[in-house]
Structure 1
Amino acid sequence: MQEIETERLVMRPYDLSDAPRAQKLGDDKDVAETTFIPYPYTLEKVEDWIQNHLSLIENGDAYPLAVILKSERQLIGTMTIRGDKTHNKGELAYWIGKDYWGKGYATEASKKIIEFGFHDLKLNRIWAPVMSKNKASGKVMKKVGLNYEGTLKQDILKWDKYEDVDIYGLLKENYR
C-alpha cells in the first residue's frame, strides 16, 4: 500500500518500530476515555495489534494507518478505515495523541481517508461511531461531511459505565 499524504501529514502502514511511540500516545487516560482504545494500552497490546495489520491490508479488510506529522517526522495517532465487503461500506475510526489535539490533524487525515475510501476502495458508504461524550470527534465528523444519523443508547460498556454512541455517515453520491 502506498502512503497517503496531506499538507501536514503522511499516513502509512504501521511498522513494529512504531509500537513504543503508539503505546506512549495511546496509553493516556484522556485519549482512552472517549475512544475505543483499551486502557491501559500496553506495549504488548500495541505490538499484537500491529502484527495483524499486514494481513488486514492485504485482504482489504482494514487499513490501520500510522498518522505521521511531517514537520516532526513523528507518529501522532492512528487513522483506520475498516471495510465491509458484503455491504460495500467502510467504518472510519481514529485517535490522535493528546499533545496534538485541537490542531486540525484529525480533520485533515479524515478528509483524506474518506477520499481514499470512496475513490480507491470504491465504497458506497462511510460511517463512524463516536462516543456521544466525545464532542470534538463529533465536530470532526461534521467538518469532513459525515452527517449525524442517530444515537445508540448505552451501546458500549466503558469502565463500568454504559456509554451512548453517535453514528455519522456519508454516501458516495453525497460526497463532494
Structure 2
Amino acid sequence: MILNFETHRLSLRLFKQSDAKMVQVLAGNVEVAGTTLSIPHPYPDGVAEAWIENTLRSLEKGDIYTFALVKKENDSLIGCMSLGVSKNHKRAELAYWIGQPFWGQGFATEAANRIVKFGFEELELNRIFAAAMTKNPGSYKVMNKIGMKEEGTFPQHVLKWGVHEDLVFYGMVKADYYKKIWDDTRRDL
C-alpha cells in the first residue's frame, strides 16, 4: 500500500525524525495545543521524536495512519492528519492539527478530502468521524466542507487544562461519501 499522497498544494507523507523540531514548534504553539485533546503545552524536548516513533509503530499495526502535511512549493511541514482505525467496526476517527501560520488557507480541507478518500477507497472503511472542541469552529468547518454531517455535541466531554470542554462530532458513512463524489462529478459536467 502506497502511503504518500499528493493534493494540489500538499504532499502527505509519513513523518520522519527530521520533522521533530518543526512538530515541536508548530504543535507546541499555545493556540494549536489549546484546541487539541492530547498536545501538551509547553511542548517538552524529546516528545516529538517519541511521538514520531510511535506513529510508525502504530502504522505497522494498521491502527493509526498518520501523515505529515508538507507544502509542495517549499517542502515545509505545516501540520498533521491521521486516521485512527477500528478494524473490527471498519471505522476511523479523523484527527488533525495545522500550524497557526497556515490557518484559514484551506490546507486542512484539502488534506482531509484526500485522507477520507484513502479511508473509504483503500482501507475500505464504512464510517469516518471526527470531533472538535466547540471553541474551535475552524476545525468543524473543515468537517462540514468535506461532506461530514454534524451528529451532536457532547457537553463537557473532555478536560483540557482544567476546563471541561464541549465536543462536537461530525461523521460520514461510505454511501454518503460515494453520493458526494457522484454529485460533485455531475456538477462538474
Q: TM-score range by the shorter chain?
A: over 0.9
Give the whole-Å Cα distance in 1 for the aligned partners of 2:73 and 2:33.
26
Q: Which residue of 2 aligns with 1:35?
A: 36
**Deviation digits for residues 46-98 of structure 1 (CA, Å, limit 9, x no counterpart):** 11111112221121101111100111210000010110011110100000000
Q: Which residue of 2 aligns with 1:2?
A: 3
Structure 1: runs of 5+ lacking an equivalent: none
Shift of 1:43: 3.1
Contact 1:19 1:46 (C-alpha < 8 Å) held by counterparts:
yes
Shift of 1:2: 2.8
| AA matched with 1:93 | A
Q: Which has the higher helix share?
A: 2
How many residues are matched?
Answer: 176
Q: Which residue of 2 aligns with 1:16?
A: 17
Structure 2: runs of 5+ lacking an equivalent: 181-189
Q: TM-score, normalization: structure 1?
A: 0.97
1:9-158 pair list within 5 angstroms: 9-36=10-37, 37-158=39-160
Greater radius of gyration (CA): 2
Contact 1:19 1:43 (C-alpha < 8 Å) held by counterparts:
no
Give the whole-Å Cα distance in 2 for the aligned partners of 1:3 and 1:64.
11
Please give the secondary structure, in 1, of the residue aligned with 2:82: strand
Contact 1:145 1:170 (C-alpha < 8 Å) held by counterparts:
yes
Give the whole-Å Cα distance in 2 for the aligned partners of 1:165 and 1:120.
29
Q: TM-score, normalization: structure 2?
A: 0.91
Show structure 1 runs of 4+ deviating over 6 A. none
Q: Percent identity?
A: 46
